[in-house]
Amino acid sequence: MISVEEALQRILGYVEVLGPEEAPLLRALGQVLAEDVHSPFDVPPLDNTAMDGYAVRAVDTRGASPDRPVELEVVGEVAAGYVFPGEVLPGTAVRIMTGAPIPAGADAVVPFEDTDEPFEAPPEGARRLRRHQRVRVFREAAPGANIRRAGEDIARGQRVLRAGSVLRPADIAVLAALGHATVRVVRRPVVAIISTGDELVPVGRPKPENKIYDSNAYGLAALVLRYGGVPRLLGIAKDTVRALKARLERALDADMVVTSAGVSRGYYDVVKEVLAREGEVDFWTVAMKPGKPLAFGCFYRGERRVPHLGLPGNPVSALLAFELFGRPAIFKMMGKRDWSRPRIRAIAEERIDTRTEDRVFFARCVVTHRDGRYYARLTGPQGSGILTSMVYANAVTAIPPEKRVVEPGEEIEVIMLDWGHGEEWGTEPGFLAREPRFP
């Protein structure tokens, strides 16, 4: 039996960072930059105004006050996206809108609020400046007032994003600000997903009494999607060597193969046999519950080595094992270096008894936040076939075998799977409204 940590290290030892691709900007959200990004120009490109107002020569406003306003001649108007063709000469001003470049000669902007500019918008059609209009300025403007300098956000040549950073919405925005329609990022892994078992039927088909729907494929594909990979659903293989081999054929151009079920000791657990024959596969018993039997290894396809994660069939085991091992593998392939999750301290609201366990027990919890503290309670029955124990959970807590019992009121560490309120995570209505078992 190997530890969860050791299993993870072995798996990560097999998977490699994928190559780069040129991705359309928006699709690259969540991907890792494959190169540094420098700015080819200044942002903003020109000195411009941060306010709607009047571009003036600061000296002309000296001494202006509500009692003794300065009057200037308005010689024109400029909006964002245009350039004023003339110059602001002494005693004049140019009406200017936020984002418009500062006209030559001006060195400050007086906001409308500090002038006799009427606050209400003029009627449609009367927007244009009347020639030789005058404006009264009620307050002195310091040189540079309300001017955003060229390059004050990003200077030409500046490195804006570093290779290796994960693209978030603000990063996508800055790439757009620099004119990128595409960006060079580490490719997303294609993950082939195969379910095995004679008892399985695909969703969308009628279900005979003695069969169950294949839920693992969907849960696993959803995790692949959530963590940035591209799932490829390859359907269900019957519990025969032939059937599984046929499916595997279609999986081997993927970046990773994930199978579920058929790795335990049963007579029909053919996954082992096929994998051992077709690839280089280890079968491990990992010291965790749920999710003890795990197959891991790789297939060879020409020069390529395709990692394979053989998950147990029980729905909770499959999902949890993927969270623990599949997610870091995907992250590594995507070029990410951090697969830690938020861990917080929470107060156990009920007794968690794991005295019968000889392995780390991953208890599924609902973590709630009340009066500045976090509380954790179990999501009901914790069998590895109880899929709803995952549905209702927003966290797990790992209880080592030597811990044996967690008492109500005890502080435990929980690993958040989803941040936010328990109410948002499918929790059965009334579950959280129930009287807490620990006040």
Decide whether 98 or 264 has the Cβ nearer to Mg ion.
264
Kind of pairing between the strands at 279-285 and 293-301? antiparallel
Decide whether 200 or 347 has the Cβ nearer to ligand AMP.
200
Decide whether 21 or 199 has the Cβ nearer to ligand AMP.
199
Contact flag: residue 197 with Mg ion (CB under 5 A): yes
Please list every residue from 71 through 110 that binds ligand AMP, using CB under 6 A: none
What does 422 bind: Mg ion, ligand AMP, none (CB cut-off 5 to 8 Å by kind)? none
Phi then psi dihedrals of residue 378, to 5 deg: -70, 155
Contact flag: residue 214 with ligand AMP (CB under 6 A): yes
Shortest separation between residue 383's beta carbon and Mg ion, angstroms: 17
Return the residue of 103, 231, 313, 328 that touches ligand AMP, per CB under 6 A: 313
Contact flag: residue 389 with ligand AMP (CB under 6 A): no
Contact flag: residue 53 with Mg ion (CB under 5 A): no
Give which of 1, 10, 2 is closest to 298, Cα–Cα.
10
What does 255 bind: ligand AMP, Mg ion, none (CB cut-off 5 to 8 Å by kind)? none
Shortest separation between residue 212's beta carbon and ligand AMP, angstroms: 6
Decide if 167 contacts 182 (C-beta within 8 A). no
Return the residue of 61, 216, 368, 427 that touches ligand AMP, per CB under 6 A: 216
The amino acid that residue 39 corresponds to is S
Size of the site for ligand AMP (CB under 6 A): 19
Shortest separation between residue 164's beta carbon and Mg ion, angstroms: 41
Contact flag: residue 261 with Mg ion (CB under 5 A): yes
Strand order in the sheet with 70-78: 108-111, 53-56, 92-96, 70-78, 134-137
Decide whether 84 or 322 has the Cβ nearer to Mg ion.
322
Distance between CA atoms of residues 60 and 49, nearest Å: 18
Contact flag: residue 293 with Mg ion (CB under 5 A): no
- Only segment of 108-116, 191-199, 297-305, 403-411 that touches ligand AMP (CB under 6 A): 191-199
Return the residue of 165, 215, 240, 382 that touches ligand AMP, per CB under 6 A: 215
Contact flag: residue 315 with ligand AMP (CB under 6 A): yes
Q: How many CB atoms lie within 10 A of CB 91?
A: 13
Shortest separation between residue 214's beta carbon and ligand AMP, angstroms: 4
Contact flag: residue 200 with ligand AMP (CB under 6 A): yes
Please list every residue from 132 through 171 that binds ligand AMP, using CB under 6 A: none
Decide whether 155 or 212 has the Cβ nearer to ligand AMP.
212
Contact flag: residue 295 with Mg ion (CB under 5 A): no
**Cα–Cα distances in angstroms (integers) from residue 357 to residues 13, 91, 285, 380, 404, in the given order:** 29, 87, 14, 18, 8
- Only segment of 119-127, 160-168, 193-201, 409-417 that touches ligand AMP (CB under 6 A): 193-201
Please list every residue from 253 through 282 that binds ligand AMP, using CB under 6 A: 260-262, 264, 266
Decide whether 107 or 214 has the Cβ nearer to ligand AMP.
214
Give which of 141, 142, 135, 143 is closest to 115, Cα–Cα.
135
- Only segment of 87-95, 139-147, 212-220, 272-280 that touches ligand AMP (CB under 6 A): 212-220
Shortest separation between residue 321's beta carbon and Mg ion, angstroms: 15
Binding residues for ligand AMP, rule: CB under 6 A, are 195, 197, 199-200, 212, 214-217, 260-262, 264, 266, 312-315, 385
Binding residues for Mg ion, rule: CB under 5 A, are 197, 261
